[in-house]
Amino acid sequence: MLHESNAFPGKAVKMLSKKVDTILISFEDARKELPDAKNIILTGTPTKIKNLNLTRMQKNEVLRELGLKQDKKVVLVFGGSQGAKAINDAVTGIINENLNKDYQIMWAPGPLQFDLVKQRIKNLSKQKEVKIVPYIYNMEEVINSVDLVIARSGAMTITEVSIVGKPAIFVPLPNVSNNHQEYNARVLEKVEAARIVLNKDLNAKTLNKEIESILQDDKKLEQMGENAKKIAVHNVEDKIYEEVRKLVKK
């Protein structure tokens, strides 16, 4: 049995697809890329992040603990443990050019880039609506409390965004095998739950334009979140366990 987390299967999964009994996939888009597989089952990808269905009061409490205002929309930006330099550069520009007048930023640039980012931001002490941390340890609470997510589009990020039902702007990591991060992002773009900004087109102004176009329309914001939930797969661990059990019994 193999499990493929990405929307575009990797070389190892493709090569072994004829030989294994079952391939578990996270996104329906992967099925057509494995024409020689004997048995393909959509199970999703296991993740610790769940939809907490927080009340407005609970979300406000999370924002208060983060030091953010409760009456202004919040954009969550992260690039994983290694950070994402292109995203970090664009967000640095947004803050330095004071483009985030209508929204707050909760930003985890990554432990390796945190100090550099802090050095490059001008007058951060005067910016009361930006919270920068090396890493977000309570991500489940935070992602459930914000209004918009900006991130790379690894399989796990796509899974988490769909589960919590958040609108997103994805910046796929370029130069990766089979351009799989862009394929992942297209899964949510197709259901109108996300926008894509390619790495080569990313800068402070292009990113801010996308942010504002989403945040200024509350109906669009809500609808994008609902659309994201359409691709979410629930009870993932149970589905995977059931397929393993079937295979062992067989």
Contacts of 244 (CB under 8 A, 6+ apart): 1
Per domain, the residue ranges of the chain are 2-44+234-249, 56-229
Mean of pLDDT values over 219-244: 97
User: Roughly what angle, to the nearest 10 degrees, separates helices 180-190 and 155-164?
Assistant: 20
Token pair recorded at residue 194: 């996300």
Burial profile 216-226: b = 16 or more Cβ within 10 angstroms, e = fewer = eeeeebeebbe
pTM, 2 dp: 0.95
Average pLDDT, the chain: 95
Count of beta carbons in the 10 Å neighbourhood of residue 104: 23
Provide the β-strand partners of residue 23: 2, 40
What amino acid is encoded at 158 in this protein? I
Sequence length of the chain is: 250
pLDDT in tens, 64-116: 999 999 999 999 999 866 669 999 999 999 999 999 999 999 999 999 899 99
Helix, strand, coil in percent for the chain, rounding step 5: 45, 15, 40
pLDDT in tens, 204-219: 999 999 999 999 999 9
pLDDT in tens, 17-26: 999 999 999 9
Topology adopted by domain 56-229: Rossmann fold (3.40.50)
